[in-house]
Amino acid sequence: MEQSKDERWRQSIENFERSYKLLEKYSKQTIENELERAGFVHFFEMTLELSLKVLKDYLEVQGYNVKSPRETIKQAYQIDLIDDGHIWLGALSKRNLTAHTYDEALAKEFANEITQLYFPAIKVLYVKLSEE
């Protein structure tokens, strides 16, 4: 039995919100060690994946047909659902890079980028979706 679009959308939003709140919580804390950094990066990866799923579902409900995360980002930017497509594309590239390798120096740099660039972009999406 197939889930209704409304039910899938609601579930998508709930998953995104839970993940977003974890990332928000840990983005405000000082990362003390490698394990905490790895966890923070993982929360980001998970939140990015769920935000892309929410964007894709939102766009499909609006009648758009997007096939890839890149297309999803571009279309979401065109309809002002996200503010900065370049930051989102950068986040996607970084996520693809970190998913396949681990380097402590890169992880430190990436954790800073998450806090300074990527989390604020995801927050804009979260706020817009919360207002709907």
pLDDT in tens, 64-86: 999 999 999 999 999 999 999 99
The token pair that represents 119 in the structure block: 């989390």
In the predicted model, residues of the chain with pLDDT beneath 50 are 1
| Predicted TM-score of the model (pTM) | 0.90
**Ranges of H-type helices in the chain:** 5-27, 34-61, 69-78, 85-98, 104-113, 119-131
Q: Domain with 50 in it: what CATH number?
A: 1.20.120.330
Residue 1: per-residue pLDDT: 42
pLDDT of residue 108: 87
Could you give the CA distance from residue 9 to residue 34 in angstroms, rounded to a whole number? 35
Range of the domain at 118: 5-131
Into how many domains does the chain fold? 1
92, 25, 24: which is closest to 52 by C-alpha? 92
